Amino acid sequence: MKLASYIVDGAASFGAVIEGGVVTLPPRLGGRFRTLRQLLAADAVDDARAALVGAAPDHRLADVTLLPVIPDPDKIVCAGVNYRAHAEETGRDVPTRPSMFLRMTNTLLADGEPMLRPVNSTAFDFEGELVAIIGRGGRMIPAARALDHVAGYTCFVDGSVRDFQKFSVTAGKNFAGTGPLGPWMVTADEIPDPAALTLITRLNGEQVQYSGVDRLIHSVPDLIAFVSEFTTLLPGDVIATGTPEGVGHRRKPQLWMKAGDVLEVEISSIGVLRNPIADEQV
């Protein structure tokens, strides 16, 4: 099942993506949930699935405005240097424990929204990533049971401002409008093994990143277990799993995103997240 958050008829809602359209779920669930995050918190994904039986789309997908899959996660936790080939291209040692950093909610964008190249930088880089969205929260989650806590998976771009990142990871990863998340979430029952997925990033139609998720240094279960060691995970939390090799700042010559470019992240069994690049206006 594909679940998306969107604006329709001037109001934020959420629903299931089927047959090129969306089935808006709140009315079909008795108005119990206003957001996808609330649905996950109530462990009601099965209720949503049951509500789709015999349903036809309420709107064409083209007639709604997508939002980030989870527009308001409590936490966005990102893994840095988590593919072996990416560690090699950056000259880093393979980390023995996950290296995590946080993003702010105002960095998130929806599919189709312009990523904003900051006015004070031209070193705007791409990082295509797989994201796990937490369904069941918890603390001290064992890796062996971590996938039981995943509601679903989606695509993400960890847009990075490299000149700022050199002296501050927090700054380089938290410019507004640099983190597309979507276009929808595919529920975990359809992706029993995230390591079997393949990730491709394209800039202006040219492939710039390609990797199997099985090449992660720290697997999706390991990341969930590690994050839950230092914080309580909540439904709707976003865990970005890291990017493979091919990033722009390690190319010769370097490859930066600029206004007019189009970035795509495609993950097998999920879909394509596509965003144009625009210059920030201040």
> pLDDT 10s digit of each residue in the chain, 282 long?
999 999 999 999 999 999 999 999 999 999 999 999 999 999 999 999 999 999 999 999 999 999 999 999 999 999 999 998 777 777 777 778 999 999 999 999 999 999 999 999 999 999 999 999 999 999 999 999 999 999 999 999 999 999 999 999 999 999 999 999 999 999 999 999 999 999 999 999 999 999 999 999 999 999 999 999 999 999 999 999 999 999 999 999 999 999 999 999 999 999 999 999 999 998
The answer to whether the beta carbons of residues 128 and 110 sit under 8 Å apart is: no
11: how many CB neighbours lie within 10 A of its CB? 10
Residues of the chain with CATH 3.90.850.10: 76-279
* 156 membership: H or E segment, kind and range: strand 150-157
Q: Which of 248, 245, 250 is nearest to 86 (CA)?
A: 245
- 192 torsion bin: left (phi>0), alpha (psi -120 to 50), beta (else): alpha
CATH architecture of 76-279: Alpha-Beta Complex (3.90)
d(CA 282, CA 120): 10
Amino acid at 59: H
Residue 186 CA from chain centroid, whole number: 11
